[in-house]
Amino acid sequence: MWLPVAAPEECGWIKRERKREREAARRSTVVGEFQEVWEVRTSHQDIWFAGFYFQPNFFCSGALISDQWVLTAATCVQVITPTPMTVVLGRTNQTGSDPKGVSRGINQTFCHPLYDQLTSDNNICLVQLSSPVELSDHISTVCLAAKNSTFTNGTFSWLVGPLRDGNKELMELQLQIFGNNDCQNRSSLPITDNIICTRDDPPEPCLDISGSPLLIRNDDLVWIQLGISLYERSCRKQMSPSVYTRVSRYQDWISSITGSSQPGFVTFSSSGDDGVSASTSSPPGTNTTPSVVPPSPNTTISVVSPGTTCDGSIFGSSEKLSSTLFNLISSFLFSLVLLVV
């Protein structure tokens, strides 16, 4: 079944995407006692994927959110170089020539004023294109998660980025949302409310994902960007959570910058505990209260007074009594020897 045509004023629609038309390779790996399963597939999200180039080389990613604004990470654009930066839209492969690709220069960039390079908090930037692009079925905009959106532990999302090797074909990697408290327990970075995590980033495929969008699709089949990838994947064998800027935290800031060329904001709510606070463990630095399981009616509880043992004596058994007397006598004899000397 075909999805509705993406009108220029709408966001998050992909006309050429069909539920059954895409081949997905399901892969799995064992991590400790658990088996992690993920999907990877060729992406149709080139419709809003933005590639940043120091021509002719691709180096970073972003997403088109209106006809003249691209959302990316601050780390992608705060680069000092004499080579002009170019943004290319509508390309499936990020190398070679593509007649469908549309290039734009950069008019200006607006990175969040509270961006912290050390912790990567508020790592978000808006890039204004040199001129608006014409929106169509081939190039369109992604929706953004609105400020009241919630994403629960285990919710499936998709990370979009080009393969690191070869023709840099655009791929999608399916990942699950990871609660911030659990993420903090496994991360060396401070995980604030401005961050969202995905659990156990698989070691393959190897993607270039700095600035890449993390997306989710709602029940109306509309794609919504919920995160911005902060770091390049190391393509390591050891799996670990990945961190992203939480887009929903910046709705007011984005709206204040984009002015009349507003992106579309959509509220996404998944059932269960919010991924910000939901956790199977306590937040760092807090003490957990042990759960008390009441005994069954037939259970006999032995109450032991302080200073006594389970048999009611101060020693506990004849063996302990002998040992204690031996220790007392040895100490007494040792004291006598010291006095004589």
E strands, 43-169, are: 49-54, 57-66, 69-72, 86-89, 102-104, 106-111, 125-129, 143-145, 156-162
- By the 8 A CB rule, do 54 and 39 touch? no
Interacting residues of 306 by C-beta distance below 8 A, sequence separation 6+: none
| Coil vs helix vs strand at 255 | helix
Q: What is the pTM of this model?
A: 0.71
What CATH number does the domain located at 38-259 have? Answer: 2.40.10.10
The answer to whether the CB of 194 falls within 8 A of the CB of 230 is: no
- Specify the residue for token string 């170019």: 86
Q: What is the DSSP letter of 148?
A: T
138 CB-side CA count, 13 A? 10
Per-residue pLDDT of the chain (341 residues; tens, 9 = 90+): 233 333 335 899 886 554 434 444 344 333 333 334 445 555 567 889 999 988 778 889 999 999 999 999 999 998 766 678 899 998 776 666 666 789 999 999 999 999 999 999 999 999 999 999 999 888 999 999 999 999 999 999 999 888 776 667 788 888 899 999 989 988 888 899 999 999 865 655 677 678 999 999 998 889 999 999 987 655 655 567 889 999 999 999 999 999 999 999 999 998 665 555 433 333 223 232 222 223 333 333 233 333 333 333 333 444 443 444 444 444 444 444 344 44
